Structure 1
Amino acid sequence: MKTVFTIISLLLFMNAFTFAQTTKQRLDSLVNSFHQANPEVSMSVGFVQEGEEFFTAYGNLSREGNEAVDKHTLFEIASITKVITTNLIAQAVLEGKLKVDDYIDDYLPSAYQLNKNIRNKISISDLASHQSGLPDIDFKVLIEKDAQQPTASVDQQLIANMINDCDSLKDYGNYRYSTVSYVLLGQILEELYNSSYEQLIKERIFDPLKMTRSFTKDYDVENAAIGYNGEGGLQAPFIWNIVAPAGLIKSSTSDMMEFLNALLDETTAIANAARITEVGHFKAGNEAIGLGINIIQDGDNTLYLKSGDSMGQSSMLCYNRKAKWGVLIFINQNNSKLRNDMLNTMYESILR
């Protein structure tokens, strides 16, 4: 009988091993096929399932050079930064510093004086789930003014004037993507901890997870991907300034895998905070918006995902907590369609 159990255990192990190998091979083949169809776009992809990691990358750091992209290559993760911002907010919730349904009035810096018409109206969760109704930065105007650095001219005075002059909320309680909301969340964090947003990321995310290839404002490193806009022109990395909590971070698939593993781990403070962010606050059909994270219900599968787009790069973080897998996609062109097609194809053909 012992021999029978040994054989069964061995077969189960071999089946799991074969599945893992097959999944890796299929993912690599899929990424390769996307690169073959888009040879000018470099891509770095990471995948994890139940703690087992896999990385693949195709293309070069720039279209003019021949140095290959790998799992350590630095990309702009852009709006995936919002997932980290809301994780920090959720950590503050766990520490008793605020509640997600608290109004923002008492947490804002003194530069903000809310109009009486909107006082005690907007909650922390309204900001994080894009339902605040506050006015937002007009990126179209900023891009027309400076396509290379549209956020460089956005400063504290501009944001303060925008908020302080607001006397009514547009579409309050409905989803309307808001960069300004994340500026305010970042400043609320700074008020709560009496520390800069960048320092909080370093102390609470980068350092504990040993993310040594992740940066905020100051970085000058080799093995960084050159970005290209949608038309194929060179695009400089964003200067985020005050807009930092909405898209500041630069990282690699290997480093962001550390964050993804921490999200999926049931024991970490980051995972405990993530579960707060994964509660839907705005729902439409089978989709919902949590705190900085999109939630899609597909049968028994619940997917949590966040995309990112700078002017020169696109990115994606997606995970299934129940199935214990996660995917990272970084490409060195502003090309949301390509990035989305990559994720959709991975999910439909391999991960579903």
Structure 2
Amino acid sequence: MRTAMRIGEVARRSGVSARMLRHYDAVGLAAPSGRSSAGYREYSADDIVRIFHVESLRALGLSLKEVGQALDDPDFAPGEMVAELEVRTRARIAREEDLLARLRTVADAGADRWEQVLEVVALLSGLESGDASSRQRAALSAEAMSGERLARALLDEDDLNVAGALRWALARSGDDPTSVLITALADRDAQVRRRAVSVLVETPGERAVVALRSAVADGDPTVRSRAVLGLADRGDPDVVPALIDLVVDGVADVDAGEALGVIAADGAADMIVAAVVERLGSDAAVRRRIAQALGEIVGPAAASALNRLADDSDEGVAVTARYLIGRR
């Protein structure tokens, strides 16, 4: 009897993207209870129930940290949570209405009312502070700032908490930061390019897709893998060769194998298996990673390829293939 599902099947059945499932796992919010011998995520029925609980609570406006507390605290009171969310939402609406009123005053007053202009300048100063907590407070109050300005601040930010607040403000701004991010992809600093591609994978629109495709050729493995996986999460079949490269090179190969399984499920299994098998060579480590990727792909073509690898001259490859055949 089947007891676990891989990430691709969970994504298809739950509607939660593979990228988000990987993020939930990384932050310990909805981690799979099992791992295969090859390191692939295996979700139980209880794991999937928790994923649905996470999605339901996020829809109410809770942060990921608050979702974790709600699910893990046995004394958690839902009624109190709803009341607190209502108070928080009303306070946020009041702040935004107050900000809108002040901006209208600035626009109407011209050069005679500089107090409001100075408040905006103070906000910018907060974002540029050397103190991370000051930058975070400024970011959480910066929804009305332009998406371009927020994106530039995000590209310069190395504190994860501040970066999260800036992402939140950028999403709420409603502006398209793609132009700034495209420019950042040409920066000499790999850290800047990594931040840019991380925002691009969450940015909607065809321009973001084009930018991600250009980042696939980046010389930094982290930039390249993030771009490839971001395109895969959008269901881009043209990214299959790049995903196979990640598997062969051993760069984010587990995530790349899972992404190949998701794309293959849309009817491209035979083509993907053929392309994967072409990369088999003399390196046993590569063949083992390819076997692991084939284990993520459903259908007779992948099964046939695994059967051949079950007789591989390298015992590690053969054992891996036989294990994956037993899991099908």
TM-score normalized with structure 2 length: 0.22
Query: Which structure is richer in relative contact order (CA contacts within 8 A, separation 6 or more)?
Result: 1
Structure with greater proportional helix content: 2
Larger radius of gyration: 2
Structure with greater proportional strand content: 1
TM-score normalized with structure 1 length: 0.21
